[in-house]
Structure 1
């Protein structure tokens, strides 16, 4: 059953979730449009501080209106204490999705995306709203390529009392500013630092700082060494490299004063010009991007090629030297007297499960992250290195390692298998299974008819990811089978095989069908019924036997009395006289005999009434006396 929020928003499929809320694709029944509906998690409904934070989010986000900010349409609370925010729905994906799918973006594309994010931040900061959680996950890229910043989930008006206490880090560790990591008050320049992390990730496909724990990552933002993005991707123009490094300055005072100043620099480099003098100066003299104000960390200032060749020919040797220093991590050097840099074998790092572990193995080299890609290794593990193991390289030079971004494994093909068997196979392979049911042929009832993503030889998917399977439910309608002559238990099994149920059972006598077997059914066999419907049956009780009553015992009664007695017992009778030693008119017997169970409507009782004893036999005739004498000898 679809859930309806505030009698208006019809909940559809989930789009994502976060610490505060779940986000769903929903339909606004009032305005007939799709929206992204953020619904506060029910487990926090009784947390007053949390509810207030959710309301502040809605209020601060609704105050913003800009082409590069996700629009807020509505916010409120329904009768069931469900707090929600209705937002603009943007089909497409996040910037994080794009980076994971394609790796590093072309530098000009990355700068153009950063420009749109900066324009969104400029509008928010003008309203006194600090986002506090800028990361590529919160940047939506539409199908037309437009960029919109969403999820002002932990934003607050810069003028309101802080919710950030000492020791409490608000935001995502990989993208927080140093002041955020230290629990200090944050302002618009904190958002610019986070944008710098996003720009760095777009340019290189990797993050500037990583560690095994969020606290470790946060501390690297505070005092870790920043490898300029151009070290990882030499195709990055100097101007974009310089802008990125200025955004990632440790001290807020060394960053851009505001988003407007950043926008000007981005527009300049996209037009092929150098960034501002301040940005250029910081790249020449070094900024606090490494935790030390004395280290120069990036390339010389960019400019148009012709202009650079005409005006700065003296700088070419310096530039080449800096490029060499960059290529070996700023460590390679020549010993006094022209001795060559010591060459040593490169160790194998391909069993390292993190870049920190790789650095511990190659402690005489500088290990830097390269591309991130799918592999069968755990996330963060080294999957390839350059130089290769065993090659000779200068002590202190750089080893670039490609890291596993997603651990994948073989994806089995479970199409055609019974649902339970398919579940077991996918579960054993390390996947989460999502099941949908769909109409199918009778043969596919209960079996997997499709899976997404498809599996089979050579197919892989991320370990722990969702695999959807569609299980056939058989056809929508089933043909009613013939049930005559079956016992009810057998009939129920026959019906279940085609998706029907045994309904009401009546009883009726039958001269031809044995008791306990079905004699009739409704609907009749051959009828098409929707699956799940029931079929009623009539069960035979056997032949319809009449009610039997005992013949009254009327022996010794007079014929008249006997007939009256039989009549009162519902028996018709007829009188037949028989010879008997009983007095005439006395009942001698009945046919059927007395007390015989008999159907009174099927039998006429014959009453045998005595007509008296039979007459005595006549004596034989006597001979005459004269004749007797003559006969004597």
Structure 2
């Protein structure tokens, strides 16, 4: 599909987003609704394959049943010139696999937040009796705001259809395949839970637990080998968090979490002080006398090496094939020895005494030479390679080195803005260097971020400054303002030039010129938060998000805005958009309203001057979104404030306090128990 080709007269192809085994995905622009979308187009070489078409249609059917903010939405289904396509929500960002590679190690709280989003989406699918069957990081997208969205329900199946889907294949990616699927059994909800446990393992360690040269060898490990300990990788991971991985990936499905909701509720408390000292999870020995059908050479011939994470198809033996036992050949009967005539004999040694002596001496010499060679070989130092321990704690790095018969040598500490405190920055010799066994490897450990003097970026290009500061570890935000200076030029900054700050804890907000033009505001109702944010940024508008119930708009999409669409607004103006939380349940719990009181500490920028501190407050509850500025204050002294929260049911609140660009206070999982009088 070439750029600018317009599909069905509506979806103009922009560029390719990726290729898969079943379909190719393109970025396209919806000419009617004026928004970017993702078009999933069945590959031309598969459009005559009825099985592939059925799978493609199954994905459309499964996705239309699922409406959830963390599941990619399906907008349209169509066919043109024999080409079947799906039009889906475009998620600007990357998949979780690449996100792990670029951001590892990921803070534990962020790991839990991402997993909570994934679990809530899978819970919705399971509530509709839909099993995904191919959960893996490549099928989970992370947008630019850090929100997770599950995609690719191409091999999802409804529980009611199990009797109709008993084929001789198992679908799924081998690195995340449950033991029962690897043996050829039908996937269940517990199979999805197993895959979720492997995904959590990868987010904590940066890699999958089982690797191998072929998909068969990996599949065998899933039901033969124990899951490696994440605490062996990093001893700082709480036992409670490792227990979630162990429970989700238990070999017997009956030992796993009963539901995804159970896994989510357990995960949310893993960092709580009340679970310190928790014992390691050990599954119950429920016993299982079921005869297991092991993968055969037939399976090995059918499976390709699974190094790229693509979905594999694994043949499964039928019961009839499994029952066929090859008869063993009857043991050969021993033959009666034939009688030979008795002949007189003489000892060879008596007939050849000299030869016997030479043979003994030669044998002794050969044994001595062999012993010397073996001794020299054994005394020679064995070589190994230095493993990668960057990003690990010192304790975890020591364990990894010990597995290669290496030990820790000199340990020194340096400041680092890229590696968290207490983690390995580099080794000497470096990773993959060949060394002798029992060699000592020097470690360089991060002692924390290094402060730097913040520059004066006024009148510079926001796009260039943003890229420079983000690569240094800063969090960069923008607000637009009407101005006569060039569009995109920085007007002001909330972090004082020359101030000494830590990049990893500093959020800087730039006021950027939006020019002096007017913008014809479009109707934003029915749009996702990501699409609205993109529209606002491209038009120099600020956007304030709120949340509320709507019986006319599905959750995750806007249903109201101020000003209304069609109005002319000046660039740099702020628009308010209300996002739907879905229909209000008839038996909805009464929301809890409470206040959390905080003291905002004042900090003098220099000992001799008094200057106001710029304080920005971000809040999330039933009515507010964390990414939207809640209050912007200028304080000259310690100031007491009250943050209002409205939370329904088990919803948790959040807040973040930023002073002069530096985050000074942040709290997750705010509940009414945090209320202060």
What's the TM-score once normalised by structure 2's chain length?
A: 0.43
**Whose Rg is larger?**
1
